[in-house]
Structure 1
Amino acid sequence: MSDSGAFDLDQYLAHIGWEGERRADLATLRGVHLAHMRGIPFENLDALRRTAPSLEPADLMAKLVHGRRGGYCYEHNTLLAGMLEALGFGVTRLAARVVVGTDRIESRPRTHMTLLVEVPGDPQPYLADVGFGAIGALLEPVPLAVGVESHDAGRRHRFVHLPQRGPLELWMLEAYAGEKGEKGEQDGGSWLAQYAFTLEPFERVDFEVINWHIATNPRSPFTQRLFVQRVAAGRHLLLHGSLLTETRADGEVREREVADEAEARRVLEEEFGIEAPDGMTLLV
């Protein structure tokens, strides 16, 4: 059952700054996806307080659209899915294993939410994902096809097939990470695995369980330290614990430590557009 009717499409599009067409076509899909990525930050403030954020449409609207807050994958992609369905796209919710930082796919549970989107009249499905909290995240949806390198708003992605462990094909999303050469150009980089998934549909109730686990389990990375990111044209900004990292499109990286709670709150407000709840400790 779709929740698209419970979302306010007008308010959502105004919040992310999308003024283009409202058609179920590829141009609209790409435009809305990129506008969402640049318009709503990724953050784990609820999980840092060991509180599972609500995935109810009204609560997502209140927090991500009307409030000075962001969210993590279940919130972002549930919101986007509802809006895309309201526009007339077909959406299948998928669960993926994040493999950044590990060589063993089976060592990670399926805890990431991503979306398979069907464009009316287009036989090619697309992977859309506005909730992946990493610099290798998609900026625009990319075609789900092996052997095709996609350039999405300056980033590069591709899919590879992995050996099957069951009856369904196993897909891996990879992102290209370039390195700066002697003259400053991007070269000598490599393809880095981001997450693996099958095309098995997952339902809202599945993500309610996963959401609760990730937000409340003391071993979850999202309950350990602050994790906030925002994408802008030409740069990616990340606050991980007390470390603020700015990565520019040309590969230049700048880092600095946030000194204390007061500065952390100021950085959240000025750099990310986030108003942290009163009384919460940010630098744990």
Structure 2
Amino acid sequence: MSHRLDLDRYLQRIDYVGEPRVDVATLRALATAHIAAIPFENLDPLLGTPVSLDLAAIEHKLVESGRGGYCFEQNGLFIAALRAIGFDVSGLIARVLWNKPEDAEVPQTHMLLRVEVEGESWLADVGFGSMALGGALRLVVDEAQPTSLEPFRLVTDGVHWRTQALVRDEWRTLYRFRLQPAEAIDYVVANHFTSTHPTSHFLHSLIVARTLHDRRLGLRDREFVVHALGQESVRRTLQGTAEIRRVLEEQFGLRLPASPLLDAKLDALPMPAAV
């Protein structure tokens, strides 16, 4: 028997107030609340702990245990919540191009969602870390669309689509994808790569992000950064393990796992490279 998500508990976890409905307003509000409440984080791969895509495991980790996760967990939870509400939603898979050349050859390692609502197709994505989508995007071409923070847009060559964000007056690509729905096994294979392959950056760096209504918070190893909309980014280097723990708990709202390896991993994190 398949696991059934506790929708009420999920809504409490993301501080969603009101009765969710199958409409665009609810879709946008849920996505914005989700990325503010449940941080993106890779503590499990960093600690060598297997990442399960079983819904019961995801719910226990992200909802009950006060943890976050990466895209397969975040969007795996979100798709279950949307379906429980009554949305018509399918999963897609993408190749990440953030901070890479537009023609980079990269594997399919990112999950996003396509939602059919109010007679139109929309894209939702609560799992893209430092550039998580606040709201949802209508599946239309070359139209700048407002989100809770930066404008986003979609472009296509007729086969591949690209999601782009306007960052410092420049349209930058997050990832490219096709509209063909992904199979569950596609996520299993991609998750295995991202959580175990030696070349996956999730195994070697601490990566945490949280998107609030007016700013983005990020932590890469010891560098903590706050990106407030329309302002210069503020960066701070975290010194000791206690300070890293405090930022993870207070700024990202994480309930840290009881692992004897965690302090050792945090203590071994490298300092930012000198500019």
The answer to whether the superposition gives a TM-score over 0.5 is yes
Determine helix, strand or coil for the equivalent of 1:151. Answer: coil
Maintained 8 Å contact 2:35/2:134? yes
Alignment of structure 1 residues 144-159 onto 2, 5 Å: 144-159=139-154
Maintained 8 Å contact 2:130/2:211? no
Give 1:106 shift: 4.3
Give 1:251 shift: 2.6
CA distance in 2, matches of 1:268, 1:140: 24
Alignment of structure 1 residues 50-129 onto 2, 5 Å: 50-119=48-117, 122-129=118-125
For 2:136, the equivalent position in structure 1 comes to: 141
Corresponding letter in the other structure for 2:199: R
CA distance in 2, matches of 1:148, 1:78: 28
Maintained 8 Å contact 2:130/2:217? no
For 1:6, the equivalent position in structure 2 comes to: 4
Q: 1:232 aligns with which of 209, 212, 228?
A: 212
Task: Count residues with an aligned counterpart.
Answer: 264
Corresponding letter in the other structure for 2:162: M
After superposition, give the CA deviation of every residue in 1:82-118 in whole Å (9 maximum; x if it has no partner).
Answer: 0101111111111101111221434111110011111
After superposition, give the CA deviation of every residue in 1:156-187 in whole Å (9 maximum; x if it has no partner).
Answer: 0011113x6xxxx2101110012xxxxxxxxx
After superposition, give the CA deviation of every residue in 1:22-59 in whole Å (9 maximum; x if it has no partner).
Answer: 21111111111111011100000001123331111211
CA distance in 1, matches of 2:53, 2:149: 31
Give 1:68 shift: 2.0
Determine helix, strand or coil for the equivalent of 1:134. Answer: helix
Q: 1:276 aligns with which of 243, 256, 259?
A: 256
CA distance in 2, matches of 1:31, 1:209: 31
CA distance in 2, matches of 1:104, 1:62: 37
Identity of aligned residues (%): 40
Unmatched 5+ stretches in structure 1: 179-188
For 1:264, the equivalent position in structure 2 comes to: 244
Alignment of structure 1 residues 155-194 onto 2, 5 Å: 155-162=150-157, 169-178=159-168, 189-194=169-174
Give 1:276 shift: 2.6
Corresponding letter in the other structure for 2:68: G
Superposition misfits of 4+ residues, deviation over 2 angstroms: 275-278
Maintained 8 Å contact 1:44/1:227? yes
Determine helix, strand or coil for the equivalent of 2:251. Answer: helix
CA distance in 2, matches of 1:38, 1:201: 27
Give 1:212 shift: 1.4
For 2:22, the equivalent position in structure 1 comes to: 24
Corresponding letter in the other structure for 2:237: E
Corresponding letter in the other structure for 2:67: R
CA distance in 2, matches of 1:276, 1:216: 21
Determine helix, strand or coil for the equivalent of 1:105. Answer: coil
CA distance in 1, matches of 2:50, 2:91: 19
Could you tell which deviates more after superposition, 35-44 or 16-25? 16-25
CA distance in 2, matches of 1:213, 1:97: 13
Determine helix, strand or coil for the equivalent of 1:14. Answer: helix
For the aligned residues, what is the CA RMSD? 1.6
Alignment of structure 1 residues 209-224 onto 2, 5 Å: 209-224=189-204
Corresponding letter in the other structure for 1:75: E
Alpha-carbon spacing, 1:105–1:94, altered in 2? closer, same or farther (3 Å): farther
Query: How does the TM-score come out when normalised to structure 2?
Result: 0.92
Corresponding letter in the other structure for 1:173: T
Determine helix, strand or coil for the equivalent of 2:36. Answer: helix
Query: How does the TM-score come out when normalised to structure 1?
Result: 0.89
Maintained 8 Å contact 2:102/2:173? no
Determine helix, strand or coil for the equivalent of 1:229. Answer: strand
